[in-house]
């Protein structure tokens, strides 16, 4: 079992930079949690506090109910997989995977069994006698994971493990990590700046900005019900379109030189905002062709199964629509489109209006 409780964690570095503010979360046994956010938002710092590689400035960290805030990294029973793999170049793959157990002076027979079992899980059995330099980036990443698996830690920590791989290998390795998680049923914390990795891997996502947790929830919750404009804009690709200064009147949303009709349900949601300005959010994939909204097309990008149409709406407000299938608009065309699902945010707090 491995449950983690992160209670009001703060991190203030020696130079007085506060990297993490009041991080609060209960991680359930066997959960794969992905910390996501732009560079510098405090993801790695949080992970490193959990690992014991950074001191915790304030708050408490509990593993299975036991306070480990002050416990040294080596006694925390956690294994960390780094972005640069940190393999020993002069050792074979076998020796790399066995290293931490050898260091602990475990019985060589036990070590042998554990290394072979981990190699089997990771498809590395035929690579054990090679040196890291003879392996591809993806294989080296798997060796790094293998080194963690042999230790059978309570918690696996991943710090941007795929960022050195090319796009194709990233996808493949992501699916391997998912299978590994299913197989080991281990508690995992995973840091990435890539929202696709977060959506595809996580049981729950923690989205951070500037040291603050913005929202914790399942991938669908963050995608479908983002709590604020930051999460709404960070999760989803291409990002959500935002329109400031939209006013709710006559059953319509008006502003930026265009107007959008509202459903009865949407009017009910906005009833306290009558006559006030709000921020409207529309995901590119929630826009469809053939509607009353006139888009002045600047760019048409065919992606195969989708087409991204870039342009302006109303008084030159930017818009990106992701249409199904192949469309052939040209720069200068006017395209009629309509909005499906809409998101509303308070203009002062940027919080979702529900």
What stretches of the chain show up as alpha helix (H) in DSSP? 43-51, 93-103, 108-122, 137-149, 167-184, 195-201, 219-224, 229-234, 264-269
Write down the least CB distance from residue 207 to ligand ADP, Å. Answer: 11
194 binds ligand ADP (CB under 6 A): no
Nearer to ligand ADP, 13 or 88 (CB): 13
Residue 291, phi-psi category: left (phi > 0), alpha (psi -120 to 50), beta (remainder): beta
Answer for which of 33, 34, 45, 85 binds ligand ADP (CB under 6 A) is: 45
Mention every residue, 6+ apart, whose C-beta is less than 8 A from residue 62: 3, 4, 5, 7, 68
Q: Which stretch binds ligand ADP (CB under 6 A): 40-48, 59-67, 119-127, 253-261?
A: 40-48
41 binds ligand ADP (CB under 6 A): yes
22 binds ligand ADP (CB under 6 A): no
Write down the least CB distance from residue 145 to ligand ADP, Å. Answer: 20
Answer for which of 32, 44, 214, 260 binds ligand ADP (CB under 6 A) is: 44
Answer for which of 9, 43, 186, 323 binds ligand ADP (CB under 6 A) is: 43
Whether omega before 238 lies within 30 degrees of 0, making that bond cis, reads: yes
* 3-state per-residue secondary structure call for 220-245: HHHHHCCCEHHHHHHCCCCCCEEEEE
Size of the site for ligand ADP (CB under 6 A): 12
CA distance linking residue 342 with residue 348, whole number of Å: 19
17 binds ligand ADP (CB under 6 A): yes
Pick from 194, 189, 204, 193: nearest CA to 81:
189
Nearer to ligand ADP, 191 or 323 (CB): 191
* 236 and 349 Cβ atoms separated by less than 8 Å: no
Answer for which of 30, 40, 137, 239 binds ligand ADP (CB under 6 A) is: 40
Write down the least CB distance from residue 20 to ligand ADP, Å. Answer: 7
173: tokens are: 């390795």
Nearer to ligand ADP, 11 or 181 (CB): 11
Q: Which stretch binds ligand ADP (CB under 6 A): 41-49, 167-175, 213-221, 326-334?
A: 41-49
CA distance linking residue 354 with residue 350, whole number of Å: 12
**Residues in the site for ligand ADP, rule: CB under 6 A?**
13, 15, 17, 19, 37, 39-45
């Amino acid at each position: 079992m491995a449950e983690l409780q992160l209670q009001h964690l703060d991190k203030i570095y020696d130079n007085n930079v506060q990297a993490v503010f009041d991080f609060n979360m209960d991680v359930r046994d066997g959960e794969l949690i992905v910390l996501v956010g732009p560079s510098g938002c405090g993801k790695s710092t949080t992970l490193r506090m959990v690992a014991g590689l950074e001191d915790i400035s304030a708050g408490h960290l509990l593993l299975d109910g036991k306070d480990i805030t002050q416990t040294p990294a080596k006694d925390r029973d956690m294994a960390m997989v780094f972005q640069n793999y940190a393999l020993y170049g002069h050792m074979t793959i076998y020796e790399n995977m066995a290293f931490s157990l050898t260091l602990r002076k475990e019985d060589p027979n036990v070590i042998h069994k554990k290394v072979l079992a981990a190699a089997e899980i990771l498809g590395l059995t035929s690579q054990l006698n090679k040196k890291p330099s003879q392996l591809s980036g993806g294989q080296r990443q798997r060796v790094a994971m293998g080194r963690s698996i042999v230790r059978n830690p309570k918690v696996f920590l991943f710090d941007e493990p795929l960022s050195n791989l090319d796009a194709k290998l990233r996808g493949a390795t992501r699916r391997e990590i998912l299978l590994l998680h299913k197989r080991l049923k281990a508690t995992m914390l995973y840091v990435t700046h890539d929202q696709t990795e977060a959506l595809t891997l996580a049981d729950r996502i923690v989205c951070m900005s500037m040291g603050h947790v913005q929202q914790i929830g399942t991938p669908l919750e963050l995608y479908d019900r983002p709590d604020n404009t930051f999460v709404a804009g960070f999760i989803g690709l291409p990002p959500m379109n935002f329109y400031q200064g939209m006013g709710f009147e006559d059953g319509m949303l008006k502003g930026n030189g265009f107007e959008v009709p509202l459903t009865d349900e949407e009017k009910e949601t906005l009833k306290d905002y009558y006559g006030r300005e709000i921020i409207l959010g529309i995901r590119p994939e929630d826009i469809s062709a053939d509607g009353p909204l006139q888009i002045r097309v600047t760019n048409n990008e065919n992606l195969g199964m989708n087409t991204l149409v870039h342009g302006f709406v109303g008084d030159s407000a930017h818009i990106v629509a992701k249409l199904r299938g192949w469309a052939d608009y040209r720069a200068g065309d006017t395209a009629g489109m309509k909005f499906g699902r809409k998101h509303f945010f308070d203009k002062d707090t940027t919080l979702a209006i529900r």
